Structure formats: C-alpha cells, structure tokens
Amino acid sequence: MINLTVNGKTHRLDVEPDTPLLWVLRDTLDLKGAKYGCGIAQCGACTVIANGAAIRSCVTPVEALADADVLTIEGVGAKGLSKLQQAWLDHQVPQCGYCQTGQIMQATALLKDIPKPTDEEIDAGMAGNICRCGTYVRIRAAIKQAAGV
C-alpha cells in the first residue's frame, strides 16, 4: 500500500511501487488531465508538479512520491481559473489540446521559480514540452501575460 497526496487529498493505494505516477493518476484516481505522449520523458504531455517542481509522471515511480505533494491540472483549476489558465484562454493557446495540460503545469512551475521571466527564460523553461500543433508563440505570450511582463 502506498500513500499518495494529490491536489491536497491523501489516497491509500494498492498499487505496485514501481507503477509510473501517470498510470496511477489516470487509471487508479481517474484524473485524466495528464496525458501519455512518449512514455520516456521526451515530450512533457504527462507533466505534473511534485513539491513545487515539474516532473514527468510517465517515468516517475509512484513510490518516489510517497511523501510528496502532487499537483495536477485538476488541482490548478479547482478553485477557479489560475492566471495562467485565463491567459491561455485569452490567447487561444490550445489547438488540438493534447499537450496543453503539460504545458500549463510546466509554466506553473516556471513562474513559481521565476515570477518575471524573460523570453529566453521562458523558452529554456518550456523547452522540454513539445507541441505538435506549434503553439509555442502563443504559449510564450500567455506566460508573459500571466507574469505581467
């Protein structure tokens, strides 16, 4: 049994310790916001936040998060839209949408570390999150709006 805290709620789960967090989120806890893209930490679609840092949930065994505070997109929007989510809407960032929860989670972690990022810091911080629809310019604009820069 493993204790896992997600979006402020602690769950006691009967899962194999090496199960990737993404599987636990989607299949056990029915939180479908984080997406499966590559499964090898190369695309960012599965990004969530653990203890304030963006992580790739497809390659993170759930046992590594036993004492962590995990935040998913469902938690970000639980009490109304975050500044980033509103900026995403204002700039009509999503196209197919598949990568976008990962993008928002990565951006959320970025702004926590760097509240007023430069263009270069945004590009560097978001470099691991791939968007096949090419929404990078809109993502940067939305992050800048949310950051007030």
Residue closer to ligand FES (CB basis): 96 or 116: 96
Give the DSSP per-residue string, 26-83.
Answer: IIIS----S--S-SSSSS-TTEEEETTEEEETTS-BGGGGTT-EEE-HHHHTBTB--H
Q: Does 42 bind ligand FES (CB under 6 A)?
A: yes
94-133 binders of ligand FES (CB under 6 A): 94-100, 131-133
- Is 20 a binder of ligand FES (CB under 6 A)? no
- Name which of residues 46 to 85 contact ligand FES (CB under 6 A): 46, 56, 58
List CB contacts of 83: < 8 A, sequence separation 6 or more.
Answer: 146
State how far the Cα of 126 lies from the Cα of 104, in Å rounded to an integer: 10
149 binds ligand FES (CB under 6 A): no
Q: How many residues bind ligand FES (CB under 6 A)?
A: 23
Give the interface with ligand FES as residue ranges (CB under 6 A).
Answer: 36-39, 41-46, 56, 58, 94-100, 131-133, 135
